[in-house]
Structure 1
Amino acid sequence: MLIQRMSAVFGRLRNETLQLQDGLNIIEAPNETGKSTWCAFLTAMLYGINSRERDKAGFIADKNRYAPWDGGSMSGRLECHADGADLTITRTTRRQTAPMTDFQAVYTGTASPVEGLTGANCGETLLGVSREVFERSAFIRQSGLAITQDAGLERRVASLISSGDEDTSYTEAYDALKKQLNRRRFNKSGQLPALEAELAEVQQQLDSSVQLQQQLADALERSQALESDVQTLSDELAQYDRWEAAQKRRQLAALTTDADTAAQRVHSLT
């Protein structure tokens, strides 16, 4: 992409225009003349302004830092050459709480919109990199010389030192692995503690089952012993019954013999 002209209502810039030429452009001007403001404006035109940023200690959100000094609304126009065509990109503000969110991209000199180019994807479509990569590589402000960690930049760096795969990021991989580890075990929660508790319960049930099987085996053994005792007692009882019957038969025979002898004596005496 080749930037040709920028016009801005942005911070100290009030309807000012910056004309650029082919090749390397070096802007030299005294302090507080708007050099950093033009840099921030270019980023805002390409990637928009994060309206959700809030001021913090030592930090002023861009929507407040670059609010027009005269109290007006942010707006801008960027003319560039990309993909063999001249494009005109404009951003305006409808609501002060969401500056430069109204986006329009047309072919220069026409009213024909550029298909597929939106305020959300403008910078990444034209430059091929995300905002995070842009701000950490090709476009570094004075306050941003210390490059911070970012997944998008890691993917771009990885693509330079590997086979060109831009989908790999250490931070994303680390976060994914950390989430997986937390899912598996985090203190006393997670999948592993749950499975361990389930395993312990199953082991307890298995131990109880083994005890019940042992008790059943002991009961069967006692039952067999008792059945053997019953058979033995039955045999002994049968033997006793036979012995008692034999005794009664002998007693009956003796009594019969005595009766016959008594009868003979009676007969003799008679």
Structure 2
Amino acid sequence: MKLRELKLKNFGKFHDKSIQLQDGINVICGENESGKTTIHTFIKAMLFGLERGRGRASAKDTFSRYEPWEFGNYYSGELRFQSNEKDFCLQRNFDKYSKSVKLYCETDGEELSPEDGDLEMVLDGLTASSYENTLCIGQLHTATNQALAAELKNYATGYYMTGDSDIDVSAARAELLEKKKEADREAREMLQRKERKRETLEQEAAHIWRDIHYMDSELKEVELELQYRDVDEVEEEPPEEVPTSRWRVHPLEIVAIIGACILLLCVLPGPWNSLVTTVVIVLGIIYIWNRMKVGKRKAKTEEVTEELDVGEELISTEKLQWKKEQLTNMCKEKQIEYENLQESLRELDHMNMDYREVDRKREALILAISRLDMLTLEMQKQMEQVLNRKASAVIEKLTDGRYSRLVIDDSLHMHVWHENQQIAVEQLSQGTLEQIYFALRMAVADLLYAEDYPIILDETFAYYDDTRLERAMAWLAESGRQVLLFTCHHRERDLLKKMNIAYADIRL
């Protein structure tokens, strides 16, 4: 990829500022506050966009910092570049009210759609994060961050496993973890539903068991009562019949009354004998009448009582037989219901098909994550070897063979070898440390991107002495990449002239 023209229509201090760029090294020179950092920021904003912050942060964010000094409503720019032997024109309007982006292929006249990912496709997956960690190096910003380490891990796994570095293995692992969480949650909910169902079944079984026990006890009582009645009917002898008189008033009682009256008439003198005899006769009549009345009522009462006793005995026995039959049937029904509940509980003890399916899914996801992690580790080791080789080649050139081996681990921690001695980079001088980080960035860029992107250097070599700077210029010239070197000094241009290295001299 080559940048051909930067057109700052309205961006920061610039208005209709056009900068033509060439292949190789472009030295953009200007005094402090001449706009070097503005141009540097413009390139990144054109490639990846420029978003306005929210809240209080928006007052000091990049969007606000580079708003046009004039014509604030026309916050825009244009970038022409070449990629895959085709010329493109990228136009952006950063204004919050009329924000837009357009991309044209000037070679064939096709209008592309950045909203649909055409710009990312043209840039071949270059992101703002990787751009800042590799190709774009500012003063005192040569060190990388952990985002680059994560991107390298993802690149290593995707590329070495599939041959396609665009495959986002980190996203795939995150998706697998999310699916595993869903499977865990589903399995947990199934177990909870199972336990709730078990508690319900056990409660129902306990109630039915109590009903069965109660009805069984009552049935035994009924059977025992019927058994007693059957024994009484067999063993009890019929009572002897007591002869009852058919007379309600005995004749002897009447004879006695008549005899008494005759005796009184004969014995007592008159007129007392007649009076007393009359009284006795009246009393006898009254006595006979009462005897006849009481006898009749007693006979009727005995008859009714006998009928009631026989009826009550017959009704009670029938009720007991009916109750026995009902209790027996209910016990059978309850027993069947209880056995069905016990069968349901036994089925719960065996994992159902749905749970087994979820469990198999969980095991498969765990295995996939484990396998992916193992392969990631293996691929990272392979990537580290390639990265170490590339970075060592760069550092050897920059240090003229003093440090010929740079070792980088998966977290981008580094150390160098010098005369068979391992040295942590933190022990080295700031100038050497800057060279090591520069070597790391160039090696990563070479590893991650198939296309040679421009290298943006904004006062990057402030800690370099003349010897280090000369080696850096030599390496940049040999790399064949397009270089945009922003500086406020003349020593880079003087050194390039001394080394007979062609460059484009751009003054701000």
Q: Determine if the TM-score, normalized by the shorter chain, exceeds 0.5.
A: yes
Question: Which residue does 2:228 correspond to in 1?
Answer: 233
What's the offset of the Cα at 1:215?
A: 1.1
Give the counterpart of 1:118 among 102, 114, 117: 114
Change (3 A) 1:29 1:7: same
Match for 1:41: what amino acid?
A: F
Deviations 1:36-60 (A, max 9, x none): 2222111221222213555529x82
> Identity across aligned pairs (percent)?
17
Distance in 2 between residues matched to 1:88 and 1:146, nearest whole Å:
31
Distance in 2 between residues matched to 1:106 and 1:5, nearest whole Å:
14
Match for 1:3: what amino acid?
A: L
Distance in 2 between residues matched to 1:213 and 1:109, nearest whole Å:
86
Change (3 A) 1:54 1:42: farther
Match for 1:127: what amino acid?
A: L
- 8 Å CA contact 2:81–2:87 kept in 1: the answer is yes
Change (3 A) 1:144 1:219: farther
- 8 Å CA contact 2:105–2:112 kept in 1: the answer is no
Change (3 A) 1:178 1:32: farther
Give the counterpart of 2:124 among 122, 128, 143: 128
What's the offset of the Cα at 1:141?
A: 5.0
1:72-83 matches, cutoff 5 A: 72=72, 73-83=74-84
What's the offset of the Cα at 1:148?
A: 4.8
- 1:221 partner SS: helix
What's the offset of the Cα at 1:239?
A: 1.5
Query: Are residues 1:4 and 2:10 paired?
Result: no
What's the offset of the Cα at 1:132?
A: 3.9
- 8 Å CA contact 2:4–2:80 kept in 1: the answer is yes
What TM-score comes out, normalization by structure 1 length?
0.66
- 8 Å CA contact 2:104–2:112 kept in 1: the answer is no
Deviations 1:223-265 (A, max 9, x none): 4422430332122121145x22xx538x89xxxxxxxxxxxxx
Question: Aligned residues, how many?
Answer: 236
Question: Which residue does 2:158 correspond to in 1?
Answer: 159
- 8 Å CA contact 1:105–1:117 kept in 2: the answer is yes
Match for 1:226: what amino acid?
A: E
- 1:205 partner SS: helix
What's the offset of the Cα at 1:29?
A: 4.3
- 8 Å CA contact 1:124–1:130 kept in 2: the answer is yes
What's the offset of the Cα at 1:135?
A: 3.5
Distance in 2 between residues matched to 1:119 and 1:55, nearest whole Å:
29
Distance in 2 between residues matched to 1:56 and 1:144, nearest whole Å:
26
- 8 Å CA contact 2:133–2:144 kept in 1: the answer is no
What TM-score comes out, normalization by structure 2 length?
0.38
Distance in 2 between residues matched to 1:209 and 1:109, nearest whole Å:
80
Of 151-160 and 120-129, the range deviating more from structure 2 = 151-160
Q: Which has the higher helix share?
A: 2
Distance in 2 between residues matched to 1:55 and 1:182, nearest whole Å:
38
Change (3 A) 1:102 1:209: closer
Deviations 1:126-155 (A, max 9, x none): 212253444444444536844254899364
What's the offset of the Cα at 1:123?
A: 4.0
Distance in 1 between residues matched to 2:142 and 2:116, nearest whole Å:
23
1:165-204 matches, cutoff 5 A: 166-169=167-170, 173=173, 177=177, 181=181, 192=188, 198-199=193-194, 201-204=196-199
Q: Which has the larger radius of gyration?
A: 2
Structure 2 spans left out of the alignment, 5+ residues? 244-508
Distance in 2 between residues matched to 1:218 and 1:123, nearest whole Å:
80
Match for 2:62: what amino acid?
A: D
Change (3 A) 1:31 1:162: farther
What's the offset of the Cα at 1:125?
A: 2.3
Question: Which residue does 1:216 correspond to in 2?
Answer: 211
- 8 Å CA contact 2:50–2:63 kept in 1: the answer is yes
Question: Which residue does 2:240 correspond to in 1?
Answer: 248
Question: Which residue does 1:257 correspond to in 2?
Answer: none
- 8 Å CA contact 2:81–2:88 kept in 1: the answer is yes
1:79-158 matches, cutoff 5 A: 79-92=80-93, 96-98=95-97, 101-108=99-106, 112=109, 114-118=110-114, 121=117, 123-129=119-125, 131-140=127-136, 142=138, 145-149=143-147, 153=151, 155-156=154-155, 158=157
Match for 1:6: what amino acid?
A: L
- 8 Å CA contact 2:133–2:148 kept in 1: the answer is no
Distance in 2 between residues matched to 1:92 and 1:144, nearest whole Å:
30
Distance in 1 between residues matched to 2:160 and 2:56, nearest whole Å:
38
Structure 1 spans left out of the alignment, 5+ residues? 253-270
Of 125-134 and 6-15, the range deviating more from structure 2 = 125-134
Distance in 1 between residues matched to 2:88 and 2:192, nearest whole Å:
64
Question: Which residue does 1:205 correspond to in 2?
Answer: 200
- 1:248 partner SS: coil
Question: Which residue does 1:265 correspond to in 2?
Answer: none
Question: Which residue does 1:33 correspond to in 2?
Answer: 34
Distance in 2 between residues matched to 1:77 and 1:15, nearest whole Å:
10
Distance in 2 between residues matched to 1:207 and 1:107, nearest whole Å:
74
Distance in 2 between residues matched to 1:140 and 1:92, nearest whole Å:
23
Match for 1:106: what amino acid?
A: Y
